[in-house]
């Protein structure tokens, strides 16, 4: 699947954009713990190249991103695109689909039953934003070092990298109870390598509420409309 991912990136001009993004990182004087790349993908085109990878992207996007992560790491090392990069864990890939299949199972609707949305895959959702919070910062990636000076992971290496994953809380990326896998000493964040991003919280309500506002009761004596929270990162 890594070979198919590379072929798709080459054919879709995604590889050219990736090289340009790498150049920006390489020319920057800032130190990064994590290098973040957004890759636009067309699920239909990928499915034509390889049905297995196309299905993987649609239903297991986090695992599919790891395939692209591996491909991008090999490309960076082979072409010497980012001199500062040391490990594959420093690469964060965000897959951005151009569209999803026009099928009911890919539509997230909180007004329909059953609520079988336990899988971490892509969904389309239509709603009305009724409230928006201010834009704040969150940690996209961080580097940790062992606090034991005699430990080989106490300096110099990018052994412990924490990268924010979709659906995870902030504490999954940064907190003070991580320990070294080698000596079990506490880990401490190296603040100069923290990578920040913008986030915004939006309160939404299902688009079906418009029917209620139009006076369509659908023969129901009463109903409620539950809002849901969306995190924009």
CB 142 within 8 A of CB 173: yes
Backbone φ/ψ region at 36: left (φ over 0), alpha (ψ -120 to 50), beta: beta
> What does the angle CA 192 – CA 201 – CA 102 come to, to the nearest 5 degrees?
110
Q: Provide the pLDDT for residue 32.
A: 86
pTM over 0.85: no
Exposure pattern of 5-34 as b/e (b: 16+ CB <10 Å)?
A: bbebbeebebbeebeebbeebeeeeeebbb
CB atoms closer than 10 angstroms to residue 190 = 16
Which residues belong to CATH 3.30.1640 in the chain?
1-102
CB 193 within 8 A of CB 139: no
Distances (CA, A) of 202 to 15, 100, 231: 33, 22, 6
CA 180 – CA 186 distance, rounded (Å): 6
CA 21 – CA 32 distance, rounded (Å): 14
Residue identified by tokens 């713990």 is 33
Q: Provide the pLDDT for residue 218.
A: 59
DSSP state at residue 186: B
Chunked in runs of 10, what are the mean pLDDT values of the chain (233 residues)?
92 93 90 91 92 92 93 94 91 93 83 65 88 94 92 85 86 90 92 91 85 62 74 90
CA 40 – CA 95 distance, rounded (Å): 6
Q: Provide the pLDDT for residue 125.
A: 85
Rg over alpha carbons for the chain, rounded to the nearest Å, is: 21
Just give the CATH number of 1-102: 3.30.1640
Q: Provide the pLDDT for residue 213.
A: 67
DSSP state letters, 94-116: EEEES---SSGGGB--TTSS---
């Amino acid at each position: 699947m890594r070979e198919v991912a590379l072929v798709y990136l080459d054919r879709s001009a995604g590889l050219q954009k990736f090289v340009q993004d790498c150049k920006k990182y390489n020319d920057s004087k800032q130190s990064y713990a994590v290098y973040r790349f957004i890759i636009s993908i067309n699920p239909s085109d990928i499915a034509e190249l390889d049905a297995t990878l196309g299905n993987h992207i649609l239903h297991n996007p986090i695992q599919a991103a790891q395939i692209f992560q591996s491909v991008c790491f090999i490309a960076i090392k082979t072409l010497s695109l980012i001199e500062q990069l040391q490990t594959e864990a420093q690469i964060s890939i965000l897959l951005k689909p151009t569209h999803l299949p026009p099928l009911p199972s890919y539509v997230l609707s909180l007004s329909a039953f059953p609520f079988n949305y336990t899988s971490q895959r892509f969904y389309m959702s239509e709603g009305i934003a009724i409230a928006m919070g201010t834009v704040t910062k969150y940690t996209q990636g961080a580097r940790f070092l062992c606090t034991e000076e005699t430990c080989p992971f106490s300096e110099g290496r990018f052994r412990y990298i924490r990268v924010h994953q979709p659906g995870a809380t902030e504490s999954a990326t940064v907190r003070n109870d991580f320990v070294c896998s080698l000596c079990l000493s506490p880990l401490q964040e190296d603040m100069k390598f923290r990578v920040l991003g913008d986030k915004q919280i939006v309160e939404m309500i299902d688009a079906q509420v418009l029917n209620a506002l139009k006076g369509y009761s659908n023969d129901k004596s009463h109903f409620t409309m539950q809002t849901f929270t969306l995190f924009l990162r």
